[in-house]
Amino acid sequence: MRLLVKNAHVITPYEILRNYDLAVEKNKISRILPSGVLDERDFDEIIDAEGNHVSPGFIDIHTHANSGFDTMDGTFEAIDAMARFHIKNGVTGFLTTTMTDSTENLEKAIKNVASYISLQRGKPQTLDTSGSSPAEVLGLYLEGPYFAETKKGAQSPKYLKNPDIQELTKFIKLSEGSVKVVALAPELPGAMKAIRFLRSQGIIVSAGHTDAAFDTARQAFDFGVTQVTHVFNGMRGFTHREPGISGAALIDERVYCEMICDSIHLHPGAMKLVVKAKGKDKIILISDSMMAAGLSDGEYTLGGQKVIVKGKEARLLDGTLAGSTLTLNRAIYNMVHMVGVSLADAVRMATLNPARAIGIDKQKGSIEIGKDADLVIFDEDLNILKVIKSL
């Protein structure tokens, strides 16, 4: 199928090309030229962007749930519903994210995601311009159960434990190789060995729900940790005498910082600090969404615990924040309007940066010749107008 997207402001990794056309052939981006240069008669389908922005499809690497469903439900219906919600909000690929839970429930969730991924990959190659196909499940993000109790956040304390390489080996096998990220607290006994093991398996290690001090954090980075889970949240805070893991992450160029840009988890001033420290290339916008995303205020669950959502804030009964109701298009909007980041840089934080972090940037994450035609058309307010997905 030959597709032309015309009259667009095309967001590339380097600039915004205003009034350009974008051609897609065999599910890949083939040409990007000024509007009117390409002959429309050469194409099977033409989409007029009408002067709106075209960006790469958003990639959410940390999302638990949405629309009333959760990864931990362990059902095809749950993952499919989540994937269909994501595509409507511009997310063309995501990592389903688990919670600290019983071994039995974790294994069920992992096997279910592996089965869903297998079904997606087994379908014929095509290009969907209707927005009816679900977003692609790119893999699994295991958030827990290897966390510090003092920084557990909304993770269930009942199932917290020290890192276990034997258990991790079983999880990886059950996932059929789909585990992409494992979050753990690097100060726990056995954590450094687990980090080395996971890196040997090609798996990204993120430091999360951790009370690690500055020196321990630096050691973990040397061992192979390349990411921190929702920076400043679920981790030792920064002070001038003990910068902690948050301080260590901000000054280490090897480390990506996940960020929940909703002005609830982080004050805009804190977000500006992260941008000043990490620049445009080492921030990953995440939703960390729970099942209330896309739904109204009310009572929900996360990791088996009751969550009350009020005014888009999701909290446990004791007031602890319990994920978010954020979507990535809103996170990008917030980065532009709350933090003052350029649109191109904010888009990068939700596309190319997560793609690079999990090692898929040769195929996805930016509008460049030869890459997958995962595209989003949106207006000035980041309302999603059209999604194009390479399947």
What digits encode the pLDDT tens for the residues 194-204? Answer: 999 999 999 99
Instruction: Work out how many domains the chain is built from and give that number.
Output: 1
Strand partners, 305: 302
Residues labelled as active-site residues: 288
Q: Among 144, 101, 153, 150, which residue's Cα sits nearest to residue 319?
A: 153
Q: How far apart are CA 270 and CA 345, in angstroms?
A: 17
pLDDT of residue 201: 97
Q: Check whether 44 has a pLDDT greater than 90.
A: yes
CATH of the domain at 193: 3.20.20.140
Chain centroid to CA 224: how far? 20
To 5 degrees, how large is the angle CA 163–CA 230–CA 359? 75
- The Cα 9–Cα 377 span in angstroms is 9
Mean pLDDT, the chain, whole residue set: 97
CA distance 24 to 148: 48
**Spacing of C-alpha 260 from chain mean position:** 10
Contacts of 105 (CB under 8 A, 6+ apart): 72, 74
Assign 175 to helix, strand or coil. Answer: coil
Per-residue pLDDT reduced to its tens digit, 334-375: 999 999 999 999 999 999 999 999 999 999 999 999 999 999
Could you tell me if residue 79 is inside a domain? yes
> Would you say residue 50 lies in a domain?
no
Amino acid present at 209: H
What's the domain range around 103? 57-366
Model pLDDT, residue 125: 83
Q: What percent of the chain is predicted at pLDDT more than 90?
A: 97
156 falls within a domain? yes
Is 390 part of a structural domain of the chain? no
- Candidates 154, 132, 5, 3; CA nearest to 70 is 154
Does some domain include residue 36?
A: no
Tell me, what's the pLDDT at 303?
87
pLDDT at position 64 is 98
Q: How far apart are CA 124 and CA 99, in angstroms?
A: 32
CA angle 19/22/27 to nearest 5° reads 160
Amino acid 368 reads E
What pLDDT shows up at residue 291? 95
Query: From residue 2, how far is each of 30, 110, 199 by CA, in Å?
Result: 10, 37, 40
In-domain check, residue 344: yes
Residue 27: left (phi > 0), alpha (psi -120 to 50), or beta? left
Check whether 3 has a pLDDT greater than 90.
Answer: yes
Between helix 191-200 and helix 165-174 the angle, nearest 10°, is 30
d(CA 209, CA 232): 10
Residue 124 pLDDT greater than 90, yes or no: no
The answer to whether position 142 is within a domain reads yes
- Assess if residue 127 is contained within a domain: yes
Q: pLDDT digit string (tens) for 79-121?
A: 999 999 999 999 999 999 999 999 999 999 999 999 999 999 9
